[in-house]
Amino acid sequence: MSCCGALEKDLHITHYGNQVLHDSRLKESSHLDMAEDADEEDENDADAHHRDAKKSVVVKSDAKQDVVSSDSLPWDIASVEDCQLLKIHRLNDWDFPIFDLADSCHSDILSKVAYTLFMEVGLFETFRIPVTPFLHYFHSLELGYREKPYHNRIHATDVLHGVYYLTTQPIPGFTQVTTSNMFSRNGSSSDSECETAERSHLTERANSFVAEDYGIMGGNFPALELMALYTAAAMHDYDHPGRTNAFLVATNAPQAVLYNDRSVLENHHAAQAWSLFLSDPKFNFLCGLDAAEFKRFRFLVIENILATDLKRHFEILAEFNAKANDEEAVGLDWTAETDRLLAMQMVIKLADINGPAKTFPLHHQWTERISEEFYEQGDEEMSRGMPISPYMDRRSPQLAKLQETFINHLVSPLCNAMVTAGLIPGTWVEEEESEDDEVSGNSDTDKADSAAKDTEDETDGELESLVVMKTKKKPRKINCILTKNMKENHEWWVAKIQEEEKQKVAMELAEEKKQESEPVEMEPIKEEAESQASSNSTPGTPTREAPPSPDKVPTAVTKDPTTSSQHTVPPAVTQSPHTDSNQPQVT
């Protein structure tokens, strides 16, 4: 069955049941062929659940008319279309005002952003996703995020927005892959009918930038992998308790015992999010996938979530640099599944810790939130009698040091690696704009190579906002909002640390001067003591002589029975029952 001419521009009708979508793979044609699949017996529970929610008919042209279902939606789709903050031109901004959207959407923020982004990149159309199960699942998912200062549904939405931005915005000099298997939705080179499907919408969009020497990373991912990346971002901190892995291990928390102290939180997030999906057929928005696609999708989601464990940070970073940035590296092979997975893991990792790369007001608010969550853990550690973890003692805050260290040791190396590999969105700097720039462009290839290597080897966390890159034509500079923000934020925290150090030194000096200016109490001289004793005596009572001061008490001389040398023995002080108890007596 072929689509009519009115559907030639992204209007696809999908029938659920035993029908599977096939793509002609013709680059110049948008016609969609559909054929009936023979019924197959499901052989396991996962497959049975996977095919157990086929109620809806989806028509992509109008989301409000997409759903024909007896189930009610968690919110009105019209509210998405009416929300100005959810307009795609706003979502294409790296410094997207996420907290303004949270104030507007409240508990629906994750599901509304997920719906908007899945629709924007064509995933509903590509995988025949029924809207009703999709909204039910993502709304239940966002409600499962606890009300923690940092690890909440707002953070999950921010990470989802981050992976969307990094995979959809133009990257200067990015090489767009155009092999035939990249046009399929699962990226497989197999000729099996169930694996031939339509190409990602981003691939078509990416091709429009080739003439301008730009590319889009998402265009190099099969649609299945892109959907897995976005879903992993939404799931990645599900049911986060607001405590670190180290805390859960130290307290023998049930999650730590269950996962043998290894990537405790990340395993928990993935397992609980998938348990939610499998708990009710009404959540099955993946009913358009065949068994092989579902299996790979689940694998990719889990791998991406587990990559967010910061204990694996340098392991993943080293593997990426070895393939993409080291002197003998051949670069990422976009036709290899393992290399694409590595790229996805780098993307979700950067999106997960993107706070320092945001404009300062956003960055500062995220900083305040993570600090409060840390302090809550520190409070519990103190109440349990445990040592308080670094940066988690609210009695001695070290906010500036925390962020400077975080940027310097974690975020900066990660972002540097992505910049050096040419995987960060940005814009080319025109030659006339760069003539007077502090970072001047070089036509010499070796100089460009050196500049890129210097960027990779930076360890002090300071990033240049204009990065020298080498392309096939000549080295050029790009303007990157992520590195610009990070550089400015890092400089602000360094200045804050210096200011705090100066204040600390000034306070110490002031305390020393205060101690020096205070009068020192002296012992009264002998005459004053005698006069005071005389004035205090009762008439007719003999005046008692004041005892000699200890340094004037005569000492007895004795001999050591084992040696011939003499030793001075301090006088013994005893208490006489017939004398004033305040007066020591010499015997």
End-to-end CA gap in the chain = 121
Retrieve residue 575's tokens.
């208490």
For residue 64, what is the DSSP state?
Answer: G
The helix/strand/coil state of 33 is strand
Write the single-letter amino acid at 125: E
For residue 56, what is the DSSP state?
Answer: -
Retrieve residue 239's tokens.
């049911």
SS3 content of the chain, % helix, strand, coil (to 5): 50, 5, 40
Q: How many helices (H) and strands (E) does the chain have?
A: 23, 13
Distances (CA, A) of 79 to 64, 70, 73, 101, 503: 10, 20, 12, 13, 51
CB within 8 Å of 541: residues ≥ 6 apart: none
As a whole number of angstroms, the distance between CA 3 and CA 34 comes to 9
As a whole number of angstroms, the distance between CA 367 and CA 400 comes to 10
Let me know if 89 is a catalytic residue.
no
Distances (CA, A) of 104 to 97, 109, 147: 11, 8, 17
Residue 574: strand pairing partners: 585
Retrieve residue 351's tokens.
């999106």
Three-state secondary structure string covering 123-135: HHHHCCCCHHHHH
- Least Cα distance to 378 among 63, 102, 149 occurs for 149
Catalytically annotated residue among 136, 151, 236, 268: 151
Q: State the maximum Cα–Cα separation within the chain, in Å, rounded to a whole number.
A: 132
Strands 566-569 and 573-574: unpaired
- What is the dihedral sign for C-alpha 112, 185, 48, 32? positive
Tokens 């694998």 locate to 299
Phi, psi of 506 (to 5 degrees): -60, -40
CA 241 to chain centre: 16
Could you please report the per-residue DSSP string of 340-408? HHHHHHHHHHHHHT-GGGS-HHHHHHHHHHHHHHHHHHHHHHHHTTPPPPTT--TTS--HHHHHHHHII
Three-state secondary structure string covering 147-174: CCCCCCHHHHHHHHHHHHHHHHCCEECC
Q: Looking at the annotation, which residues are catalytic? A: 151
